[in-house]
Amino acid sequence: MNILVTGGCGFIGSNFIRYILKKYNNINIINLDKLTYAGNKENLIDIEDDKRYSFVLGNICDPEAVDRCMKDVDMVFHFAAESHVDNSIKGANPFVVTNVIGTQVLLDSARKNDIKRFVYISTDEIYGSREYGYFTENDRLEPNSPYSASKAAGEMLCRSYYATHKLPIIITRSSNNFGPYQHPEKFIPLFITNLLENKKVPLYGDGLNVRDWIYVEDNCKAIDFVSRYGKIGEIYNIGGGNEKKNIDITRYLLEKTGLDQNYIQYVEDRLGHDRRYALSTVKIRELGWENNRNFDSALNMTIQWYKENEEWWKKIKSNMKQEENKEDNSNDKDRMNDKKIMIFGCGQLGNLYSEYFKNKGDIVINPKIDIRNENDVRSVIEREAPNYIINTAAKTNIDWCEKNRTECFEVNTLGAEIIGRLCAEKGIYLIHLSSGCIQESKTKEEIHGEEDPVNPLCFYSWTKVWADQLLLDLKNRKNLRVLILRPRQLLSSVVSPRNAVTKLLTYTKFIDTPNSCTIVEDLLDVTNMLIEKNAVGVYNVVNPGITSPYEIALMLKEIVKPEMVINKISKEELNSMTFAKRIDSVLSAKKLENDGIILKEIHIRLREILEQFKENLSKDASKEVMEKTKEETRNKLLV
């Protein structure tokens, strides 16, 4: 039998893998893990040479990676999750992406690969808090943290795939686990390791919160048990029957480590902190499962394990401290209003970026200088001392660039290199706006990722390629922190002569070849999200799906200008009328999606944008813009 375990380098997942390999000789395990801070390959170092075990580094949000792992698999055990409640309170996005979208990707792949059983590992936290009695599997879900809400959402997806697609789902809801290899950010290992280091332990509120505890190996046994004997489509609570107040566990740990009550540091209670969790395990016990392990003996085993494995947890706590220091430094900068963004380029994109970040309360400098002049660029950077630079400066009229190659090269390539070199020298994070028109798609099925070879058709595109290559070279040689964004065919609700929507409104001839497009308003949001993630490297930034100038024109006629004249022409006819060859590019946004950034499909988003464009067009200032755009279009060959 072949099984897929997601998140197998985490706490429960690694214990489950070890348990299964020890119990069965005829099972092969694939472990798919992204190795976030909570995933640790050292958790399975003792079995990594077992021929029945294989590790795959990958993200459950990546359909291709999941499909590769799911092939020839009989059963799936889905442990992978963002699970630290405090982190979910600080920011819920990673929890929604991993715990909901990741689950959906796995379910889709399980359908395609005819999986015989899909076991979803959930939590008792989805029930919420209960003062008396015990939660049964039929009780209402009332999650009180973003973490538990995301797990509940994952459950609902599983239930829907069972009801709709007859996917063989089983769901387990376990109480609080403890035992070997648990990350020292969690309650019991944090307190054990702090006390072993002679440090105080941070106890939330009055310490009277109650949890039901189960030793991790017993939970693994129960999961294996219900995967074999449980009923498809059912949910099973897994509890240890060990209700304990947090203060009582703390006192027990103090006693076992020879320390006194002075080592308790009471801290402000967690937001939305559930008072009591308690599970009814009647349903799983009726199947024949029993948990007979004594809590004190299991806790003593856990204390001993952490005593014997100091090297393992000290390395993790050292990394935690480094991350805390980074966060503290980041917070200090925020408090001092140190987020200062310098934006090069005063065209449509430069102005929109300036307005966007000013509206977010950031300090924005938009110097009007020639980026070809290194002395001027250096001077303004040293004077203003930004910690972010966004470079939108470029010559973008491709026919003009074809005729004025020297100036185009100087601005688009050499100017970008000057900015990149100075950013590397000063340790400044650079966001560079590149272009998506550097990879040709001869059919709509020819979809390009960031790593695919480039094949520009005009000089403008080559200058953007050369700039990308120079900046990536600085990244490799000089440790430049650079984020290169490749949007394609920018469309916006802003009435501007530089907006492709405004231009299209003045045209009468349109090609109908497939292309990716980028909604500018989405580009701004994506840029901010990637900055927050400290992302580096190259990202295609396009809305999913494809469209064409002809399709956009039809939508313009429907929404904005009913009297619009629309004539379809061929790509060959277009290229015979223009100085520079036009390229068709269909780009993949999968890298963005793998980072949890998922944009609306282009046709849906375009309709929203055109409705807003229509509203903006009714304003008095827009009339002047339209006249200017018509004047620019007049006397030209119309596309």
Digit-coded pLDDT (tens) for 169-187 = 999 999 999 999 999 989 9
Q: Report CA-CA distances (Å) from 541 to 383, 519, 526, 592.
A: 32, 9, 8, 7
237 neighbors 173 (Cβ within 8 angstroms): yes
| Residue 376 DSSP SS3 | helix
The pLDDT-based confidence of 620 (bands split at 50, 70, 90) is: low
9 neighbors 35 (Cβ within 8 angstroms): yes
226 neighbors 253 (Cβ within 8 angstroms): no
Q: Report CA-CA distances (Å) from 190 to 172, 194, 383.
A: 26, 6, 46
The length of the chain is 639
**Whose CA is closest to 195, among 270, 245, 252, 268?**
252
Round to whole Å and give the CA distance between 62 and 544. 15
Q: Can you read off the two tokens belonging to residue 226? A: 């219900």
Round to whole Å and give the CA distance between 480 and 422. 9
pLDDT (0 to 100) of residue 91? 87
The yes-or-no verdict on residue 56 having pLDDT over 50 is: yes
The pLDDT-based confidence of 333 (bands split at 50, 70, 90) is: very low
Round to whole Å and give the CA distance between 91 and 424. 30
- β partners of residue 279: 135
Which residues are catalytically annotated?
Answer: 124-125, 147
260 neighbors 114 (Cβ within 8 angstroms): no
Would you give the distance in Å from CA 483 to the centre of its chain? 16
The yes-or-no verdict on residue 627 having pLDDT over 90 is: no
**Whose CA is closest to 297, among 342, 359, 240?**
240
Domain residue spans of the chain: 2-180+210-244+271-292, 337-633
The yes-or-no verdict on residue 636 having pLDDT over 70 is: no
- Per-residue pLDDT tens digits for 256-298: 999 998 999 988 887 778 889 889 999 999 999 998 889 999 9
Q: 26-35, 119-128, 457-466, 571-580 — which is least confidently predicted?
A: 571-580
The yes-or-no verdict on residue 445 having pLDDT over 50 is: yes
Phi, psi (deg, nearest 5) at residue 281:
-110, 25
The pLDDT-based confidence of 334 (bands split at 50, 70, 90) is: very low
Please, what's the largest Cα pairwise distance for the chain?
89
pLDDT, averaged across the chain: 90
Q: Which residues of 447-464 are buried (b: 16+ CB within 10 A; e: fewer)?
A: bbebeeeeebbbbbbbbb
Find where tokens 């090069």 sit: 344
Phi-psi region of 350 (alpha: psi -120 to 50; beta: other; left: phi over 0): alpha
- β partners of residue 169: 118
| Residue 587 DSSP SS3 | strand
What number of other Cβ atoms are within 10 A of residue 15's Cβ?
24
H helices of 230-368, in order, are 246-257, 282-287, 295-308, 310-335, 348-359
| Residue 29 DSSP SS3 | strand
The yes-or-no verdict on residue 336 having pLDDT over 60 is: no
Round to whole Å and give the CA distance between 320 and 115. 38
H helices of 24-114, in order, are 63-70, 85-90, 93-96, 102-112
Round to whole Å and give the CA distance between 489 and 433. 13
Q: Can you read off the two tokens belonging to residue 196? A: 């072993």
391 neighbors 344 (Cβ within 8 angstroms): yes
What integer is the mean pLDDT of 378-401?
92
pLDDT (0 to 100) of residue 198? 93
Structural element, H or E, at residue 469: helix 459-478
**CATH number, domain 2-180+210-244+271-292:** 3.40.50.720
The yes-or-no verdict on residue 637 having pLDDT over 60 is: no
The yes-or-no verdict on residue 330 having pLDDT over 70 is: no
Q: Can you read off the two tokens belonging to residue 569? A: 């022409």
The interaxial angle of helices 520-532 and 348-359, nearest 10 deg, is 60
Q: Which residues contact 423 (CB under 8 A, 6 or more apart)?
A: 389, 429, 430, 480, 481, 482
The pLDDT-based confidence of 86 (bands split at 50, 70, 90) is: confident
For the domain 337-633, what is the CATH superfamily, name and number?
NAD(P)-binding Rossmann-like Domain (3.40.50.720)
pLDDT (0 to 100) of residue 634? 55
What integer is the mean pLDDT of 496-506?
82
- Per-residue pLDDT tens digits for 303-322: 999 999 999 999 888 887 77
Round to whole Å and give the CA distance between 121 and 10. 13
The residue with greater pLDDT, 530 or 622, is: 530
pLDDT (0 to 100) of residue 617? 82
Q: Which residues contact 370 (CB under 8 A, 6 or more apart)?
A: 376, 415
pLDDT (0 to 100) of residue 332? 45
Round to whole Å and give the CA distance between 130 and 127. 8
Domains 2-180+210-244+271-292 and 337-633 share a fold: yes
Name the percent of the chain lying above pLDDT 90: 66
Between CA 75 and CA 83, with CA 80 as vertex, the angle to 5 degrees is: 145
The yes-or-no verdict on residue 155 having pLDDT over 90 is: yes
pLDDT (0 to 100) of residue 635? 46
Round to whole Å and give the CA distance between 492 and 616. 11
119 neighbors 99 (Cβ within 8 angstroms): no
**Whose CA is closest to 397, among 437, 429, 370?**
437
- Per-residue pLDDT tens digits for 386-395: 999 999 999 9
